């Protein structure tokens, strides 16, 4: 099984596990795609880091990349609107820790080629304590990236082929009128 197929299968399972709260993802996607500046959102540099990491996790292939479907905007909304002030502050500090971790080893994440980005991700994923920074924020970010990717409309429709609501409701659909049979005609009594 290729990596992309595995991610697609895991993503489908992950997306399906979130179905009890689809309104949260739908609300976040509506805000993310609105283009409105998010108060308490991530900085441009943080969004660039999120996008570079997201595209390393889910690069463009025969399906869109994470940034193609606007996952960084989704992450921004989730962090700004659904995290408490303390969680948001911890997440932003964690992004800085990821940036510092990568820079001390190989340079700015956004300037690395795909192999360098992959090595940087592996160095974070290989850390023994997932509760310490930068691993803690990386794993939270990875969850948000995968959740956002697989709940995005383009991926659900074009990659997973999910039909969220089968068919279309037509409350005023035209119906063929029945012809009334006059009483006493059509039924034979013996």
CA gyration radius, the chain:
24
pLDDT of 180: 65
pLDDT digits (tens, 9 = 90+) for 38-59: 888 899 999 999 999 999 999 9
Half-sphere exposure of 80 (CA within 13 A, CB side): 20
User: Given pLDDT bands bounded at 50, 70 and 90, which one contains residue 126?
Assistant: very high
Whether 51 and 104 have beta carbons less than 8 Å apart is answered as no
Residues 6 or more apart whose Cβ sits within 8 Å of residue 132 = none
Most confident residue range from 28-32, 158-162, 175-179: 28-32
Residues 6 or more apart whose Cβ sits within 8 Å of residue 162 = 15, 156
Q: What is the 3-state secondary structure (H, E, C) of 30-78?
A: HHHHHCCCCCCCCCHHHHHHHHHHHHHHCCCCCCCCCCCCCHHHHHHHH
Nearest to 63 by CA among 164, 166, 161: 161
Whether 74 and 29 have beta carbons less than 8 Å apart is answered as yes
pLDDT of 20: 36
> In the numeric block, which tokens belong to residue 21?
């709260």
Alpha-carbon distance 99 to 95, whole Å?
6
78: left (phi over 0), alpha (psi -120 to 50) or beta: alpha
Alpha-carbon distance 76 to 21, whole Å?
19
User: Given pLDDT bands bounded at 50, 70 and 90, which one contains residue 172?
Assistant: low
Alpha-carbon distance 72 to 76, whole Å?
6
pLDDT of 19: 42
pLDDT at 33 over 50: yes
């Amino acid at each position: 099984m290729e990596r992309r197929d595995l991610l697609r299968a895991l993503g489908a399972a992950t997306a399906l596990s979130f179905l009890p709260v689809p309104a949260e993802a739908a609300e976040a996607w509506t805000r993310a795609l609105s283009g409105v500046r998010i108060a308490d959102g991530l900085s441009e540099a943080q969004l660039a880091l999120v996008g570079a990491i997201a595209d390393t996790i889910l690069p463009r292939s025969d399906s869109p990349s994470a940034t193609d479907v606007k996952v960084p905007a989704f992450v921004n909304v989730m962090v700004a609107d659904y995290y408490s002030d303390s969680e948001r502050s911890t997440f932003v500090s964690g992004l800085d820790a990821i940036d510092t971790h990568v820079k001390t080893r190989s340079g700015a994440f956004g300037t690395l080629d795909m192999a360098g980005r992959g090595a940087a991700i592996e160095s974070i994923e290989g850390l023994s304590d997932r509760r310490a920074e930068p691993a803690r924020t990386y794993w939270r970010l990875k969850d948000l990236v995968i959740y956002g990717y697989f709940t995005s409309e383009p991926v659900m429709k074009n990659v997973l082929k999910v039909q969220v609501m089968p068919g279309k409701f037509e409350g005023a659909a035209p119906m063929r009128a029945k012809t009334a049979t006059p009483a006493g005609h059509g039924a034979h009594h013996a």
